[in-house]
Structure 1
Amino acid sequence: MSFDSYDDYEQGERIQQWLRQNGVSIIVGIVLGLLLIFGYQKWKSHRADHDAEAATLYEQVQVALATNKAADADAGIDRLQTQFTDTTYAVFASADRARVAAEANQLDKAQVALDWAQAHATDDAVKGLVQLRAAQVRLAAGHADQALSTLDTMPKGAYISLAQELRGDALVKLGRIDEARKAYQAAIASMDDSAPQRGVVKLKIDDLAVAGKQGA
């Protein structure tokens, strides 16, 4: 037997020995890997079906709200909150409940709905919008200090112009006029030149100047 043949034979024996020693663990590893892949695909399929069902239910809630079927809308929102808590559709539905309650001047009910939405929102953009609405409701309820605290917790850079304008409104309620002016100016600075709200905020700044002269 040549050295080359011997080397091949020896290598083959070593491979066979290694397989005998590690073959079971290799097979187990392959099986586990396949199970993980299969499980992940199964989870993805389940998740897609779960989200699709939530989307359909949320659409039904929208139709119920649009046709003034309050009981149907509430039932749909309750189901989204209990069975589809992990979806953004549940957050949207809770925010819709808050909007309807606020329009009916049921501010406490609106706040409860927004608190739920804020606690379950995972996307920063959605969370920021919910917090902005919560600050608006708190200000409407006469809690300007709570509105400011809520605005302080918003994700950095979220809805800057709206948040700054609302901050200015809250500061006016608290009599902190100089801070309110700065907030309004920050709101304008973050808006496009063509933004319709620019004129509204400028009027608010002008009102502060008039109020300052009257108070002098």
Structure 2
Amino acid sequence: MAAHLDLEEQEQLEQLKAFWKRWGNAITWLLTLALVAYAGWTGWNYWQRNQAAKAGAMFSELERAVQAGDLAKGAAVFGTLKQDFASTGYAAQAALMTAKLQLDKEKADDARATLTWAVANAKGDAYRDLARLRLAALQMDAKQYDEAAKTLEGVKSADFAPLAADRRGDLALLQNKPDVAKAEFKKAYDGMDKQLDYRRLLEVKLASLGVAVGDAATASGAAQ
């Protein structure tokens, strides 16, 4: 019986040797690749967390500079975020914040450059669209009407569509196109949440063009 078991064990051992001889290298390579992939994934996650933590600390420093009105410090911190942490959401927020500080300090050219960077590089469609809306306003202030129109064309998010229409209405007025302005302001008014106070501003804009909406339209209808 023992001899019989020995023969079976030897046969199994020979089969195992044959299997390993045929597939051993492939299995070793697969295991190696799996370990390398796991190590890479773990390392990438660690790097991402590390980058986010560093970017967060830099963003806090920028917030302090903005609160103090320190443009030089704020611009320097944003430069670091832009160079070393552009892939993080903090860089996008920093661009919007820095542009506002630059504008407050009457550095409109610098603010446009900062927002232009955000449009091209910010992480997240919402940040890029918000940067486009603010950039378009500055371009209109600088009488760069064609550039402003192109910037607004890039706003694709449905959440920002009413604000983009409002900006296009402002642009149309600057270009002496009142009919276009009416249509855009009405589009903005209809697309905006009824609870938002911003609709009041749109009502005023439309009223200045002879279009009654909201309470004014109701009062006009009752008078008739």
Q: Quick check: TM above 0.5?
A: yes
The amino acid that maps onto 1:109 is: D
RMSD of aligned alpha carbons: 2.2
Structure 1 residue 43 corresponds to structure 2 residue 39: no
Structure 2, unpaired ranges of 5+: 1-8, 212-224
Cα deviation code 1:41-92 (max 9, x no counterpart): 1110111011111011101110111012333222211111111122221222
User: SS at the partner of 2:143?
Assistant: coil
The amino acid that maps onto 1:125 is: A
Cα deviation code 1:133-167 (max 9, x no counterpart): 11111112122332121111112414122111111
1:65 is matched with: 66
1:214 is matched with: none
- Where does 1:58-207 land on structure 2 (aligned, <5 Å)? 58-207=59-208
The amino acid that maps onto 1:64 is: A
2:29 is matched with: 28
Cα deviation code 1:154-196 (max 9, x no counterpart): 1241412211111100011111111111111111111122211
Q: Distance in 1 between matches of 2:61 and 2:81?
A: 11
Q: Say if 2:119 and 2:128, in contact at 8 Å, map to a contact too.
A: yes
Shift of residue 10, structure 1, vs aligned partner: 7.9
Identity %: 26
TM-score, normalisation: structure 1: 0.86
The amino acid that maps onto 1:127 is: R
The amino acid that maps onto 1:71 is: A
Q: Distance in 1 between matches of 2:150 and 2:131?
A: 14
Q: Distance in 1 between matches of 2:81 and 2:102?
A: 18
User: How many residues are aligned here?
Assistant: 205
Q: Say if 2:132 and 2:155, in contact at 8 Å, map to a contact too.
A: yes
Q: Distance in 1 between matches of 2:173 and 2:44?
A: 51
Structure 1, unpaired ranges of 5+: 1-7, 211-216
Residues 169, 134 of structure 1: CA spacing in aligned structure 2 closer, same or farther, 3 A cutoff? same
Q: Distance in 2 between matches of 1:156 and 1:90?
A: 20
User: SS at the partner of 2:158?
Assistant: coil
Q: Say if 1:114 and 1:134, in contact at 8 Å, map to a contact too.
A: yes
- Range 140-149 or range 9-18, more displaced: 9-18
User: SS at the partner of 2:210?
Assistant: helix
Q: Say if 2:89 and 2:122, in contact at 8 Å, map to a contact too.
A: yes
Q: Say if 1:138 and 1:144, in contact at 8 Å, map to a contact too.
A: yes
